[in-house]
Structure 1
């Protein structure tokens, strides 16, 4: 079990504001560093909110730059480790603890506005840290859900961000259903993208939702500020409706009604949503998505099981079988169904990630025969790939 010690001390030397410092030393460690960004509004004389960010590949500045727009809007201090990456959790917990203690020793942090985020494996780590410490106000999980350390009785907020071509899209939907079932306050924001960091605009949407929840807890409630968020959310909804993206419109309808029904009169919106759900166009898009997710689950189960058997357990690899299955999968691309096309993207990239991870391991262990097979599998998945043995 991880042990975290979050100790808050008085500020010392303050780095330049409005600049990404990409390699700040963590004192008392074996060369650990992190990227740091102080928003232009930062003042050492007041308490500031902070966001700890986790990258799957230990690229601190890449993680920080994704959040700059949200940082300036909400005054967030940003910190992202250059050492934490996909790998053993105990190691990452130790790195996280070192960074916590360092940050709290020289910055004045608002303890009820500490947030944590990450992408892919970094998202799983962020959720684990929040679940184990229960000292964070909320999590922004990007492109992946939970590890074995899952939210349950904790009291933080959770925002999921995921592209609808991301291989973890189905997982993120399942995670939301789980959180809804246990009445854990959360939302899921999806958009048209594959497995990558969200855009700054989607990050801002996540923090808009987090800060809206905080506003709703105030007494008296700041009606004008809540109304501003409501207007922004309804503008987004109207944009989805006008563009014909009814899956995103449905998601936005549900979020608005859940977020505002206790603070703003939304009866007319409820009626619009009722009519929307009965519309032929929405039913067709929803049916197409459900069908695609069902086919995806069957492909994922079959391909993951076969991959584990042939590559991870080092049995005979049947590349003809892989060619046949991936040709069958690719056939869905030819259908006039955008949800099936997205499904193909998700399944192929999921398999690619597994194959690429296996390839990296084989390069270290010098497994020449298996390396040749995994390289050939990658070429079947993506024929234009240029990997060499």
Structure 2
């Protein structure tokens, strides 16, 4: 069991705010008050070797889904190994505007800077998904931030990027993630704007990176700080990092994944160019690019990128048309598209399987965005909203909330036949929360009907209301 050491600080900020804090080393300290003028708190992680007489780099974990501590927990191993402080607000939310979230984040930054001895020019943001997109816009608004680690999301709102305020962008993405193509394409823009950037690309069943790749992302931030002279150069760390990254590239080559090796070598060239001669590395890249295995892999991946872009255009076009015209008849077409993706999931071709996964992620995100848009209207179009939730049951059949929404909205519109159909589909897919079923909004009349209770009796063995044999 890890030993937890307690630190006690008495803190006074410029706002004449003081409190005594007992902060944990090697564990997450929760509910730290930002200041005495706002009702905001954050969580903080200090590495086990944290000392108050040293300055430390800090990574602010952005999360808009109310899961800041969970997001921070996924970064703890990397922060511990690389010597970074982590902090995450408890108050940011996707229900707030961007400007409101920026202000909340800035107040947390100021609180952390006044609490922890932090290194100048070594403050970063990091996030997953939507949190990562938000993390990537903060350096443009808040000048005290020097870089971003974005896990599974392209840089947000590229139109606001300021070439006069460049920051380092380190992306991590699985090739099966629907954000991969956008993150891959954004490299050219960041290079054009002269933003230092790296892209750590990986494969695997999990869309999230393993801990060792997150360690590599933090290590890249550290090495860039050395190259800029913000911290003292550590020759041993540079050499061990070079060998670590080169081993990963060689592993990709041994696994017959030349494109992953290429991504790794390109990042190495950017990171290590200020430290050493890279003639051998450049020679390796030339040899790799000329190899038959690389050319074939690159040609294959690009052909699937093209096919994917056409399919995305079809998805976007037909979704818009179906919603505008309330085209329930086209639900069969959407079901067919998902069946086609199911077939591609079993393909022997890696790039085809990855394309299938990206397309599935794309259509789910597209449907969800449309649901959010329709739901946010002053006069909600419930028929369009219901159709979108029906699509969601097709594109993501294990996402129970979509079935519940269809049952609720259909009952609201007194379409009990549709509500009953989706109730059975919900139960077939393994839903078991009987209490939620019997408290579902707009279903007061529906749930006392014999058909409703017969369905519950059939799948969950006992209904709340008696089913009378007829």
* TM more than 0.5: yes
Greater length-normalized contact order (CA 8 Å, ≥ 6 residues apart): 1
**Distance between the aligned counterparts of 2:100 and 2:17, measured in 1?**
28
- Give the Å deviation of 1:89: 0.6
Describe the SS at the equivalent of 1:32: strand
Contact 1:212–1:226 under 8 Å retained in 2: yes
Contact 2:176–2:207 under 8 Å retained in 1: no
Q: 1:71 to 1:338 in 2, by over 3 A?
A: same
Contact 1:117–1:141 under 8 Å retained in 2: yes
Q: 1:200 to 1:23 in 2, by over 3 A?
A: farther
- Give the Å deviation of 1:214: 1.8
Question: Is residue 2:66 matched to residue 1:58?
Answer: yes
The one of 391, 412, 422 equivalent to 1:377 is 391
Q: 1:210 to 1:10 in 2, by over 3 A?
A: farther
Q: 1:261 to 1:241 in 2, by over 3 A?
A: same
**Residues 135-188 of structure 1: per-residue CA shift (max 9 Å, x gap):** 212111111122323353323211111111111111101111211122221110
Contact 1:8–1:105 under 8 Å retained in 2: no
Indicate the residue corresponding to 2:20 in structure 1: 13
Contact 1:134–1:156 under 8 Å retained in 2: no
Counterparts of 1:286-325 in structure 2, within 5 Å, are 286-311=298-323, 315-317=326-328, 318-325=330-337
Question: Is residue 2:134 matched to residue 1:122?
Answer: no
Counterparts of 1:358-377 in structure 2, within 5 Å, are 358-359=370-371, 369-377=383-391
Describe the SS at the equivalent of 2:35: coil
Indicate the residue corresponding to 2:242 in structure 1: 230
Contact 1:165–1:195 under 8 Å retained in 2: no
- Give the Å deviation of 1:253: 1.8
Counting matched residue pairs gives 383
Q: Which runs of 5+ in 2 are unaligned?
A: 1-12, 405-470
CA RMSD of aligned residues (A): 2.9
TM-score w.r.t. length of structure 2: 0.73
Q: Which runs of 5+ in 1 are unaligned?
A: 1-5
Counterparts of 1:255-266 in structure 2, within 5 Å, are 255-266=267-278
**Distance between the aligned counterparts of 1:30 and 1:305, measured in 2?**
46
- Give the Å deviation of 1:335: 4.0
**Distance between the aligned counterparts of 2:30 and 2:176, measured in 1?**
30
| Residue range with higher mean Cα deviation, 42-51 or 337-346 | 42-51
Indicate the residue corresponding to 2:85 in structure 1: 77
Question: Is residue 2:182 matched to residue 1:171?
Answer: yes
Question: Is residue 2:41 matched to residue 1:33?
Answer: yes
